[in-house]
A = this chain, B = another copy of it.
Amino acid sequence: MISIDELNRILQTKFKNQEIEKIVIDEAFNRVITEDIYSNIAVPPYNKSNMDGFAVNEKSDEYMMIDEVHAGDNRDLKIEGNECTWVATGAKLPEGTNYIVPVEYLGIETEEMASYIIKNQNKIILNLNEDENHILKNSYLSNDPFEENHIVKKGIDIDEGQLLLKKGTKINERNIGLLASAGIKELNVYKLPKVGIISTGDELKLINDVNSKTIGNTVKKAGCEPKFLGVSKDDFEELRELVKTALNEYDVVITSGGVSRGKKDFTKRVIEDLGGVLVHRAKIKPGMPILLGEALDENNCNKPLICMPGNVTSCVIIAEVVVYPFLKSLMHESMDKHIKQFKISEELYSQFDRTVYMPVRIEDGVAYPTFEGSNMIKSVAYADGLVEITDDKKYNKNELVDVWML
């Protein structure tokens, strides 16, 4: 039998996802880009004002105001000599602007500006001495109106031609701002794997199917959409047809049940018939009977088959430690386990040379094992995480253990 790490390596090495689709950036949350993205524009696209005030070309005490520029005004203006224009915060600056003189240096408020202009017939006189306290009420203004230029330079946020995001970056709520800012509307991203789920077992006529629901939610947790394809009886032909059809429509086919060695365990025979077995049984507890296969679909594309144990808790654990990382790998995402440390409430050790995944519930900083049997859902339903116990490890009661939070 192979280890669970080796099993995951086989699965993730054998099957890769290079399928690409183009989407609009509004749909790009949590998607991974397939190529480097550069900006075609500079941000801001022009020099702009950081203050309400006057754009001036050279230092002076007195200016002639030749125009007004508000945010959203795209005209190409020009100033020279002692000409100035009114510029609102964020406004595009006229060519020749070397300083913004904040409106406070007139000794007035922004609101008083219009009447001041009319009264002074467009003559702007800096009021540096008359009412110093008034001018300097904003602590960030010095007595020298030219000390700081208050100009936000074109391209200071994003340069034209700049690399914005590297291939393999996942779009989030922060880096989408770069794309929006640079005016990027569409992106190439890796397609999400489509996952088809099949349950097997005659007993599902009498008891409720649990595995398709837990597997389905693990698929959703990974960020993919699961599709439940139905229940097969313990019947070779019926299961074979379901799996064969699923292979043509889905990138990953997951079954549960029928992977032991009993006479009604048809799954392995179906895999052998449709393709081949990659792995049967791994050194893991619970979930040892895990079966991995491969088969060609009608387009000769080789597809992975993950055949989960029928026991409900084994199925949940294999979904967490095999299916979830595999889907993340197909999505080109790193598997960033969230590990927290807690005291363990009782002694824990691995068994039979297998890696044990012990489900634990966290309460008041203590991790309590919840496992009571792999065929009972209560063994994992209330767990918050898993403790991984490799073959040679033993944890004493009250020892700090790493818990992989689910």
B377–A157 touching, CB < 8 Å: yes
A263–B110 touching, CB < 8 Å: yes
Nearest B residue to A216, CB-CB:
B26
User: Measured between alpha carbons, how far is A10 from B173 in the docked complex, in Å?
Assistant: 25
Please tell me which stretch of A198-206, A279-287, A295-303, A395-403 contacts chain B, meaning at least 4 of its Cβ atoms lie within 8 angstroms of it. Answer: A198-206
B319–A74 touching, CB < 8 Å: no
CB distance from A100 to the nearest CB of B (A): 15
Evaluate whether A173 and B217 lie within 8 angstroms (CB atoms) in the complex, with A157-B377, A312-B181 already known. yes
A72–B208 touching, CB < 8 Å: no
A229 within 8 A of B: no
Nearest B residue to A92, CB-CB:
B206
Which residues from B are CB-within-8-Å of A71? 201-203, 206, 234, 264
CB distance from A114 to the nearest CB of B (A): 10
Which residues from B are CB-within-8-Å of A91? 203
Nearest B residue to A90, CB-CB:
B203
A119 within 8 A of B: no
Instruction: Name the contact of A214 in the complex, choosing from B45, B174, B201 (C-beta under 8 A).
Output: B174
CB distance from A406 to the nearest CB of B (A): 7
Nearest B residue to A184, CB-CB:
B208
Instruction: Name the contact of A375 in the complex, choosing from B152, B377, B382, B383 (C-beta under 8 A).
Output: B152
A66 within 8 A of B: no
A70 within 8 A of B: yes
CB distance from A381 to the nearest CB of B (A): 4
User: Measured between alpha carbons, how far is A142 from B92 in the docked complex, in Å?
Assistant: 88
| A interface residues, tally (CB under 8 Å) | 78
A137 within 8 A of B: no
A221–B172 touching, CB < 8 Å: yes
Instruction: Name the contact of A45 in the complex, choosing from B206, B263, B377 (C-beta under 8 A).
Output: B206
A136 within 8 A of B: no
Evaluate whether A174 and B316 lie within 8 angstroms (CB atoms) in the complex, with A29-B217, A157-B377 already known. yes
Query: Which residues 356-375 of A have a CB within 8 angstroms of B?
Result: 359, 375
B264–A88 touching, CB < 8 Å: yes
A210 within 8 A of B: yes
B378–A178 touching, CB < 8 Å: yes
B180–A209 touching, CB < 8 Å: yes
CB distance from A233 to the nearest CB of B (A): 8
> Which residues of A are at the interface with B, using a C-beta cutoff of 8 A?
25-26, 29-30, 43-46, 50, 52, 70-72, 74, 88-92, 110-111, 152, 156-158, 171-183, 201-210, 212-218, 220-221, 228, 233-234, 262-264, 312, 316, 319-320, 338, 359, 375-378, 380-383, 406
> Across chains A and B, which 3 residue pairs bring their CB atoms closest together, nearest first?
A72-B202, A173-B217, A71-B203
Known contacts A50-B375, A74-B206, then 16 further A-B pairs from the complex at CB < 8 Å, ordered by chain A residue: A26-B216, A29-B220, A45-B207, A52-B262, A71-B264, A72-B204, A89-B262, A157-B377, A157-B378, A158-B377, A177-B214, A178-B381, A179-B213, A180-B210, A180-B213, A338-B338
A-B pairs with beta carbons under 8 Å apart, 24 shown = A25-B213, A26-B228, A52-B262, A70-B264, A71-B202, A72-B202, A72-B204, A72-B206, A74-B206, A88-B262, A157-B375, A157-B376, A172-B217, A172-B221, A172-B406, A173-B214, A173-B215, A173-B218, A175-B382, A177-B210, A177-B213, A177-B380, A183-B208, A338-B338
